[in-house]
Amino acid sequence: MSLSNRFVLPALICSVLVLFSAALSFAQTTAAASNTGTSSSATNGAAVSQGGAGHVVPAQAVLTGPNLSVSYAAQHDSTTGWANVLTPDFSYRFGRHASVDVNVPWYLTLQAYETTTVRGTTTTTLTQANNVLGDTTAALHFQASGGNLSYIATLAGGLPTGDKSLGVSTGSATYNFTQHVDYSIGPFTPDVEFGVGDSTILASHFLRKSYAAVGALANFQVGTSVDLPGKLSLDAEAYEAMPLAAQTVFGTIMGRGGSGKARSKQVLQGAGVAEDNGFTVELDVPLTARLNLAGTYGHSLIQQADIAGVSLTWTLRSARHVDAGAPSSPMTNTGGR
């Protein structure tokens, strides 16, 4: 597939989302103008999780009931190359404290190393796959806040709906339980996070890795988000994924050392083989009330890998365009989480 053809479908999808979002915004603005004396938003100090338990932003209202988001992301991994993924996410908020969501990533294009053996000779080739599903993720969120302090607990489960030979599936049912605490101080919101589980897919918040590891592990995160002018926000985090037992790894893990050459490991077993630590930086740019643009960069210190990407997320219901007293639904973007 040529570079120009690779982005035709994503470009059409993004165009439709932009036009649909603009149309909905115009319609609701017109309706609000005709209903004088009715407030178009409500503020109750609740917080909404966007991007897993590790990404929390303030909400102007709590929208109870169903919601839907669709995210398109283009990402380049120094280990394997480009991936383009479309992720629909359905969520339901029961009230101020509890919500659930389900999502499944659809890889429009994906590059991965594949190992083949012919007449006793094993070769590793970087190939491109199209229209590949990843693992389905279902998550239950509990949220509480008091003053500037917020707490979120997320219990997530993964279902093996993806292709493990391409590093986008664990090949088995998995889980992760993560607790997140943050405290707002002016424009800064420092946070700390700790979780346990058995899947690197569920432990990663922002970026898709070139592999999926199964086995007991603990995940840690510490960092801060910063409110910037123009409603922009910057989030910087340091992370650690620490294996607690032997793991099975599907996909490609970058080797240690400075050479930085990828090693194809279709199935690799051993304690600590998928240990990872490093940092991530994400810049969020709200385009409209329903459309958000984000740029993300991550660097793995242990695996000597760099991942950079851009994503566009459209949300059906926005807390900024609801009648007074209407409640707000969290949208979780795992998968990458």
| pLDDT tens-digit readout, 56-87 | 334 446 789 999 999 999 999 988 899 999 99
Helix H or strand E encompassing 29: helix 8-34
Q: What is the per-residue pLDDT for 255?
A: 59
Q: What is the per-residue pLDDT for 9?
A: 46
| Separation CA 37–CA 19 (nearest Å) | 29
Q: Where are the beta strands (DSSP E) in the chain?
A: 47-49, 56-58, 65-77, 81-93, 98-103, 106-118, 121-133, 136-146, 149-159, 174-183, 188-199, 211-227, 233-243, 246-254, 262-271, 276-286, 291-300, 305-315
Phi first, then psi: give them for residue 23, nearest 5 degrees. Answer: -65, -45
Q: Tell me: the pLDDT tens digits for 285-302? A: 999 999 999 999 999 998
Residue 6: what residue type? R
Q: Fold for domain 3-321?
A: Porin (2.40.160)
Instruction: Report residues of the chain scoring pLDDT below 70.
Output: 1-61, 205-206, 254-272, 320-337
Q: What is the per-residue pLDDT for 195?
A: 96
Q: Please compute, for residue 128, the number of CA atoms within 13 A of its CA located in the half-sphere on the CB side.
A: 11
Nearest to residue 71, comparing CAs of 227, 220, 284, 224? 284
Question: What ranges do the domains of the chain cover?
Answer: 3-321
- Here the tokens at position 56 are 């929390």
| Separation CA 152–CA 99 (nearest Å) | 11
Q: What is the per-residue pLDDT for 253?
A: 77
Residue 132: what residue type? V
Give strand pairing partners of 294.
284, 311
Q: What is the per-residue pLDDT for 54?
A: 36
Q: Tell me: the pLDDT tens digits for 221-265? A: 999 999 999 999 999 999 999 998 888 888 887 655 444 454 444
Question: Where do we find the tokens 């303030």?
Answer: 58
| Distant-in-sequence, close-in-space partners of 46: CB < 8 Å, separation ≥ 6 | 58, 59, 61, 62, 96, 143, 145, 328
